[in-house]
Amino acid sequence: MTEKYIKLFNEFPPVSSEAWKEKVVADLKGADFDRKLVWRTNEGFSVQPYYRQEDLAKLDYLDSLPGEFPYVRGTKTNNNDWYVRQNIIVKDLEESNKKALEVLMKGVTSLGFVFNECTEVTVDDLAVLLKGICLESVEVNFEAKCCTCKIAEAFAEYVLAGKWDAKNIVASVAYDPFGNYLLYGRFKKGVDHVLAQAQNLIAKSAELPKYRVLAVNGKNFGNAGASVVQELAFSLAQGVEYLSTLTEKGVAVEDVAKNIKFNLSVSANYFMEIAKLRAGRLLWAQIVKAYEPKCECGCKMRVHAETGSWNKTFYDPYVNMLRTQTEAMSAALGGADSITVLPFNAIFEDPTTFSDRIARNQQLLLKEESHFDKIVDPGAGSYYIEELTASIADEVWKLFLEIQDKGGFLAAAKDGFIQTKVKEMSAKRDLNVAIRRENLLGINQFPNFTERLEKAELVDDALAPTDLTAEDAEIETLKPYRGAMAFEKLRVATDKYSKENKRPLAFMLTVGNINFAKARSQFACNFFAVAGYDVKDNNGFASVADGVAAAKEAGADIIVICSSDDEYAEAAPAAFDLIKGEAIFVVAGAPACTDDLKAKGIENFIHVKSNLLEELTAYNAKLGIK
């Protein structure tokens, strides 16, 4: 920096944080700073409206470089590249091989073969599935509902019998018996059996240094409604359970650690997700180091990030593309080693050629047009992201230690501690969705008024949580679900009802002050359209009588009066009397005269503090929609 610029900076003396806050408080004109500007997160800490360099003084990891312990800045030294994974649901081996070869020509660098049926995959099967695929040029991954060990063994045998250089094979199998314990509620043949299988897989992968056979499917926590902190804390605790139990069996800690891949979900919480991945690497490195591996390189956390399903919807499904795009950005900026963008329609049908293409290209755009893969740790130096990283790490560590105090991951699962924590958080988030403190575009806010689900009877599976609970389960299980389900059930019920009956119509009786009337009619239209009702807005009626007459002529099932608080005292009772119970009468707002209106028999009021889900459930019942 030249001397003239240094002198320019000298003309502006430094401003303290106290001075900044004094200025902000003055501009708030009496409003409480904390209530107005401080964000109280689900993660257990508060986020300030701004951060400054002095906030980073307490952080002790900032001097580390990319690729250096504790890897908060990433495990790579010169780029931020990641594998672009596309999942292929395997139903027919030859067809899946054909699809794999096609997508490899379209930018994919990682294949995820997903077996949703219980099938014992043999070496011969893999020869068909992987025919023509150069395993040294692409990452290969396997997920299976069962028989995962058989797949893992078969793949190792297949590779070692081939002509590939084993040290260049990058692959993984999602064998996660401890995670499955929370999904199924039992170990089919006991803990000792799964540990013996894990030992066997680790031994067979010894000649394949980049083949990972153990998974920590933390995405199951995120997809069940867990917070960012909970997903990471439970995932780390699960990883430690593998480290502890297998090292006690005599397996070297570096052999266990190098075989673990963390499969994490990514939510819409953009900056929080970036910080989550950074905090995860920081904490995992410290945890593994405590086991005294031979090399610090064994402390690297390998993360596959997958766009979460909790916030995805089958109404207005194209909005899912917006959600997955920001989630993919978070994963890339956070330094994920590989990323799967789930197709926008994956929650309710098998992905199509179109949806697969869009999902694939979302990542390719981040690489080839936005160059996210060129800069190591893009979030470094951001006061906000660095502070979020530290805050998440602190809260995760507290929860992690709480789990350890209970005896570790399995003990905490048997005690129901993990399940209770997830249920508490999911209930909190469900309430936030119900009162629109957490928005799901197209579901509880700004629905597509004209959208109709033509085949409503085909989406029943999408309306139920994932329940894999075994008949002989010994614990309460984790059940991934979507936050939109409750609202979707309401709207599906309306769509099914409307196939044989007239679709309910909510009519806006706008009268009086046009500014208040239009604002409230737009709110009310949005409110009732969430349940799939037809809505009719109006520009204002000369009188209440005219509005009621028009509503009756339109065949309204619900008549919503929209006016100013002052005018409601006379207009609402007048409309109520004219309607004579021929339609459900609703007042849009919470006027000061509410008690007086209730005394006159008016029961229904909608406003910004309404529990949208409860209110619409009640209206469905009144209309006879089940």
* Domain ranges (residues) in the chain: 502-623
Residue 110: the pLDDT is 98
**Long-range CB contacts for residues 574-578, cutoff 8 Å, separation at least 24:** 574/544, 574/545, 575/509, 575/544, 575/547, 575/548, 576/600, 576/601, 576/602, 578/544, 578/545, 578/548
pLDDT over threshold 70, residue 457: no
Using 50, 70 and 90 to split pLDDT, how confident is the model at 119?
Answer: confident
**Which residue would you say has higher pLDDT here, 296 or 535?**
535
- The pTM assigned to this predicted structure is 0.94
In this predicted structure, the answer to whether residue 455 has a pLDDT above a threshold of 70 is no
Give the tokens for residue 360. Answer: 């694939």
Take residue 340 and report the two structure tokens written for it.
Answer: 């799967």
Residues 619 and 560: beta-carbon distance below 8 Å: no
Tell me what pLDDT residue 6 has. Answer: 65
Query: What pLDDT is stored for residue 462 in this prediction?
Result: 83
pLDDT at 519: 97
| Residue 92 confidence (pLDDT) | 95
The order of strands in the sheet holding 584-588 is 534-536, 505-510, 558-562, 584-588, 604-606
- Predicted confidence at residue 145, as pLDDT, reads 87
Does 513 have pLDDT greater than 60? yes
pLDDT at 381: 87
The more confidently predicted of residues 456 and 350 is: 350
How many CB atoms neighbour CB 617 within 10 A? 19
The helix (run of H) or strand (run of E) holding residue 262 is: strand 260-266
What pLDDT, on the 0 to 100 scale, is given for residue 41?
93
- H-type alpha helices, 249-301: 253-258, 270-289
Q: Tokens standing for 575?
A: 């409309």
Identify the burial level of 113 via C-beta atoms within 10 angstroms of its C-beta, where 0-12 means exposed, 13-18 middle and 19 or more buried.
Answer: buried
Per-residue pLDDT tens over the stretch 327-353:
999 999 999 999 999 999 999 989 999
Is the sign of the CA dihedral 139, 145, 151, 152 positive or negative? positive
pLDDT at residue 456 above 70? no
| Model confidence band, residue 4 (pLDDT cutoffs 50, 70, 90) | low
pLDDT of 2 > 80? The answer is: no
| The CATH number of the domain covering residues in 502-623 | 3.40.50.280
pLDDT surpasses 90 at 540 = yes
3-state class (DSSP) for residue 468: coil
* Interatomic CA distance for residues 230 and 114, integer angstroms: 26
pLDDT at 272: 97
What mean pLDDT, rounded, does the chain reach? 95
DSSP assignment of 426-464:
HHHHHHHHHTTSS--BTTTBS--TT---TTGGGGGGGGS
pLDDT > 90 in the chain, percent: 89
Joined tokens for residue 36: 């107005």
pLDDT at 12: 75
